[in-house]
Each structure stands twice: as structure tokens, then as C-alpha cells.
């Protein structure tokens, strides 16, 4: 069975509108062999979603993603953006629980469970991010740590709902540090995550879930990381801001 493979660009809080337009144009005009199971996502800042949509909606296999959404449906939450608003802009994916959101904006597993649910309610695919900080890795308790993240935020879903979720494993110590997990570390955790999903949702479901790796994916290491059996592409920060680097990363997909 071929799982869907993703090259997902996470621009974070970078680029002006003009730079964003240029980068989108460069990536989209490249000759990339995409198909139903080999797709590109652009997780762009909210003000650029319509710009990105303008480039991707006329092309197959490219999609826009929000970097976050509110856990609330609507109402008096100044500065927040709802899942319903995003869906009404034809945004089909939304990052949920990126480690920077967890760390700097106090997002808890419980809030993230609400965000996952609200994305699904409005027909957006949540890209649920999980992963352990350095001190947890040093204590070698990363499996328990990630299992709790999955347990608290994804186990409330039905199997039918989980099938609409994409997972990104991003060890916090590898994000933006240039320190990539080794292929062995990535494969080991991805296969562990799949086993946790299997235990709770059954084998058939667990085999269908795409699990992306994130953490200093670069043009020169993407191929070997993506070649790992349980790694279904990557969530890419820094290297997604450079067109030729990101293009090479897309080409490294299985
Ligand atoms: C990320 O933002 O999800 C990420 C993995 O960043 P970087 O590729 O820069 O480590």
C-alpha cells in the first residue's frame, strides 16, 4: 500500500508579500513529478493564504495550509483565526501543535485535541505535530512523551476521523538547529508512533496514516530520511524558504 507522501513547507513568520510571491512562483514553475500520493503543501502566514491559493488552486497536487487555527468556533477572540474561516478560503490543511506554538503560546495537548477536532469538523486536514524536547531525549523517555501527546490529542478521535489526520514527528532538538535526527532515530520513532496507532485504532488504519519527519530537513539529507520505511515525507522550515533547496526536497520524496 502506497501512503501519501508530503513535502510540506512551513514558512513560519518569514518573508514579505513580494518575497512570498516570488518563492511560490519559483517552486510551482519547477518540473516536479507530483501525483495523488506525492503532494506539496505550503504552510504560509495567514495574510498570504489567498496569494498562495491563487498559485496553487489552479494546479493539482499543491495545497495551502495554515500554520495554526483557533480551538474556538467563533466569537470574541480578537486576533484569532477560526477553522471555519480557513475552510471558507479553500485552505485544506492546517498545522496543529507545532512545537513553537506549544512552547511560546502555551498550547496544551488538551487544546490541541480541540484544534484537531475543529479542523475535522470543517473538513480541513490537521497536520498534527508531536515530538520531544532535548532533555526528554537525553533521558531516553521520548517514546512515553510522544505517546502521551498522541493519547491526549488524537485518541479521542474515531478511526474514521484519524484517517483524515496527518502526523508530523518533529524532535524539538532538531528544529531550526541544523541537528537532524539520524535516519535510524527517525525510523525508530515513526515506527513506534505507528505501533501506538495500531494498538489503539487497529493495523489497517495505522498503515494508512502519513507520518512526516521534521527537524532540519535539508536538500542534502532529505533523500535518505524519506527513504525510511515509515517516513512519509517531511515538514520543512528553514530550507523551505529557498526555492532550489525546497525543490530538491520535493524531488527526494518516495
Ligand atoms: C519546522 O518548522 O517544522 C521545522 C522542522 O523547521 P526546520 O526545518 O528549520 O528545522
Assess contact for 159 and 151: CB atoms under 8 A. Answer: no
Q: Is the pLDDT of residue 220 over 80?
A: yes
Q: What are phi and psi of 81, to 5 degrees?
A: -125, 130
- Its pTM stands at 0.97
pLDDT at 32: 95
Positions marked active-site: 98, 170
CATH architecture of 5-251: Alpha-Beta Barrel (3.20)
Give the residue, out of 8, 168, 217, with the most ligand 1 atoms within 8 A of its beta carbon, to mutate for a pocket test: 217
Confidence check: pLDDT of 1 > 90:
no
Distance of CA 228 to the CA centre of its chain: 17
Residues paired with residue 212 on neighbouring β-strands, in sequence order: 168
From atom 4 of ligand 1, which residue's Cα is the shortest distance away?
Answer: 237
CA-to-CA separations, 114 to 58, 131, 160, in angstroms, rounded: 32, 19, 17
**Residue 73 to residues 16, 86, 194: CA-CA distances in angstroms?**
29, 12, 31
pLDDT score at 117: 98
Mean model confidence pLDDT for the chain? 97
Amino acid at each position: 500500500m502506497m501512503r501519501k507522501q508530503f513535502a510540506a513547507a512551513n514558512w513560519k513568520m518569514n518573508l514579505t508579500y513580494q518575497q512570498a510571491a516570488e518563492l511560490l512562483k519559483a517552486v510551482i514553475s519547477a518540473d516536479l513529478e507530483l501525483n495523488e500520493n506525492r503532494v506539496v503543501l505550503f504552510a504560509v502566514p495567514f495574510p498570504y493564504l489567498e496569494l498562495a491559493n491563487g498559485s496553487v488552486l489552479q494546479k493539482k497536487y499543491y495545497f495551502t495550509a495554515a500554520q495554526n487555527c483557533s480551538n474556538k468556533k467563533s466569537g470574541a477572540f480578537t486576533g484569532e483565526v477560526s477553522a471555519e474561516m480557513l475552510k471558507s478560503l479553500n485552505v485544506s490543511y492546517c498545522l496543529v501543535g507545532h512545537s513553537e506554538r506549544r512552547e511560546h503560546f502555551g498550547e496544551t495537548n488538551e487544546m490541541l485535541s480541540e484544534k484537531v477536532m475543529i479542523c475535522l469538523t470543517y473538513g480541513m486536514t490537521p497536520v498534527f505535530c508531536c515530538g520531544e524536547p532535548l532533555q526528554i531525549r537525553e533521558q531516553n523517555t521520548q517514546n512515553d512523551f510522544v505517546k502521551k501527546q498522541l493519547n491526549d490529542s488524537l485518541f479521542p478521535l474515531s478511526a474514521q476521523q484519524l484517517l483524515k489526520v496527518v502526523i508530523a514527528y518533529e524532535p524539538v532538538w532538531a528544529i531550526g538547529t541544523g541537528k537532524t535526527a539520524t535516519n535510524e532515530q527517525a525510523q525508530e520513532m515513526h515506527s513506534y508512533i505507528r505501533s501506538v496507532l495500531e494498538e489503539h485504532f487497529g493495523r489497517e488504519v495505522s498503515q494508512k496514516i502519513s507520518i512526516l519527519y521534521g527537524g532540519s530537513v535539508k536538500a542534502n539529507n532529505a533523500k535518505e530520511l524519506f527513504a525510511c520505511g515509515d517516513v512519509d515525507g517531511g515538514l520543512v522550515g528553514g530550507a523551505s524558504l529557498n526555492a532550489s533547496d525546497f525543490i530538491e526536497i520535493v524531488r527526494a520524496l518516495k
